[in-house]
Structure 1
Amino acid sequence: MKLYWGPHTCAIGIHILLEEIGRAYETEKIDVQGGATEETWFKAINPKGKVPTLIADDGRVLTEFGAIAVWLARQAPDLGLMPTDPDEEQRALSLTDYVTGTIHGQAYGRIFMPARFEPQDPVHQTIGLGQASVKKQGETMLAEAFAIIADQLAGRDWAAGDRFGVADAALFYVERWASETNVPLPPALDAHLRQIKKRPVVARVMAIWGEQ
């Protein structure tokens, strides 16, 4: 398997899951912020132009965080990265979708890339709805989402099931990004983040990424 990743991306969660399952893999670091995912060579691999992108051993190209994460979990079912209990499985999938779609795509999207969400029509520009307002909207969305998840984590060590899994890998990357915003992590999420960082697998991946 081969993982394409770039600094400051959600691909770190997939990298952690690769380490967890213990199968042979390689990685290629690319300059995502510099536009590498839009280059012809990468678009030939993944026309969506995004990471994580995982090449399976048979050459298939796997895309989208949630889909890749579940696929990896099923490569090593004995590890319990995806709960077998139907209710806990639903919890894991629901949380992972919420992280990738709402927290990452909508809230952080507005915070980190406000220009993409800024209305371009003259009416909105006249009333002053600029990038600062878009970023503020993202921060409000993020705070609300964090509060929801904090309630869901109450009394739990892990996001779903009784051990680290797919949903925790997803939560991990958005919890880390909070340090770059004006939105503080609720105590439950901060404790969850610190617990994940203690895992040797996570420490190995963060060392590769040059982060802490």
Structure 2
Amino acid sequence: MKFYMTPGSCSTGIHILLEELDKAFEAYIVNLPAGDHFKPDYVAINPKSTIPTLVRDDGSSLTEVQAIAYWLGRAHPRARLLPEDVEGETRVIETLAFVVGTVHGQGFARIFATPTFTRNEADHEAVRAFGRELVEKCFGVLNDQLGVKDYVAGAFSIADPILFYVEFWADKTKIPLPANLQAHYKRMLARPAVQRVLREEGYNLASLGASA
């Protein structure tokens, strides 16, 4: 398989899943500031010009974090990355949708990609502030849902690396994590697969999780 990713982005969650599965794949860095995602070679495999993209063994491209994570879980049942019961699987998908669509798409996007929400520079600080407020509110919801469980579904699942990438962003942007999410983030940082991925993506593990 071929995995198109940007270090430190939402693709980190998928990178962790691939590492947890011990899957062989070729990694390709997509430089977003350089506009790599708009170049013809990339558009040919992902017309959406988004990351990540997973080109599977049959040559087909799969996009969207939720879809890639779900496919990895379903395609590798022995790894038990999805709950076996319908309720458990549904709750995992619910978490994926909330993290990617709201925490990332509405919250952190306002912080990281402020001009996409308003062209008026005078409004940028207000947009970023609202993004931070929304992220903190969402973290409160996720914190209550996680409770004292070690992982989102009780056992490690496809939802945990996806939750991790926004916890990681919170760490990098100094947004405080509620207690249960702090514990989850620290637990994820201790996983060998997560450590390998972060090193491969160029991060110093000693600088992460200081507040967790």
Preserved contact between residue 99 and residue 163 of structure 2 (Cα < 8 Å): yes
Measure, in 1, the Cα distance between the counterparts of 2:55 and 2:174.
36
Range 175-184 or range 10-19, more displaced: 175-184
Contact 1:20/1:201 (CA < 8 Å) preserved in 2? yes
Three-state SS of the structure 2 residue aligned to 1:27 is strand
Alpha carbons of structure 1 residues 183 and 23: separation in structure 2 relative to 1, 3 Å: closer
- For the 8 Å contact 1:172–1:196, the answer to whether it is kept is yes
The two structures have a TM-score, normalised by structure 2, of 0.91
CA deviations on 1:185-205 (whole Å, 9 max, x unpaired) are 111111101101111111111
**Amino acid across the alignment from 1:74:** R
Q: Which runs of 5+ in 1 are unaligned?
A: none
Q: Answer whether contact 1:5 1:51 (CA < 8 A) is retained.
A: yes
SS in 1 for 2:4: strand
The answer for the alignment partner of 1:61 in structure 2 is 61
Are residue 151 (structure 1) and residue 141 (structure 2) matched?
A: no
The equivalent of 2:191 in structure 1 is 199
Distance 1:19 1:75 in 2: 15
Return structure 1 stretches of 4+ with deviation > 6 angstroms.
Answer: none
User: How far apart are the structure 2 equivalents of 1:159 and 1:33?
Assistant: 33
Equivalent in the alignment of 1:34: 34
Corresponding residue number in structure 2 for 1:81: 81
| Aligned mate of 1:131, from 124, 136, 139 | 124
In the alignment, the residues of structure 2 paired with residue 194 and residue 184 of structure 1 have an alpha-carbon distance, to the nearest angstrom, of 13
Instruction: Report how far residue 182 of structure 1 moved.
Output: 4.9
Amino acid in the other structure paired with 2:165 = Y
**Which shows bigger deviation, 53-62 or 195-204?**
195-204
Query: Given the superposition, is the C-alpha separation of residues 118 and 90 from structure 1 closer, same or farther in structure 2, using an over 3 Å criterion?
Result: same
Instruction: State the one-letter code of the partner of 1:7.
Output: P
Deviations 1:129-179 (A, max 9, x none): x0100011101100100000000111211011x321111011010000012
Tell me how far 1:180 sits from its aligned partner. 3.4
TM-score, length of structure 1 as denominator length: 0.91
Residues 109-120 of structure 1 aligned to structure 2 (within 5 Å) = 109-118=109-118
Does structure 1 conserve the Cα–Cα contact (< 8 Å) formed by 2:148 and 2:180?
no
Q: Where do 1:150-169 residues align within 5 Å?
A: 150-160=143-153, 162-169=154-161
Greater Cα shift, 60-69 or 200-209: 200-209
Deviation of 1:56 (Å):
0.3
SS at match of 1:57: coil
Runs of 5+ unmatched residues, structure 2: 206-212
Q: Distance in 1 between matches of 2:152 and 2:33?
A: 30
Amino-acid identity (%): 41
State the distance in 2 between where 1:170 and 1:142 align: 15
**Residue 183 of structure 1 aligns to a residue in which SS?**
coil
SS in 1 for 2:27: strand
Following superposition, the deviation at residue 22 of structure 1 comes to 2.2
Partners of 2:182 and 2:36 in 1: how far apart? 32
* Cα contact 1:21–1:73 (8 A) shared by 2: no
What count of residue pairs does the alignment treat as equivalent?
204
Give 1:119 deviation, angstroms: 6.4
Aligned to 1:72: 72
Distance 1:174 1:33 in 2: 20
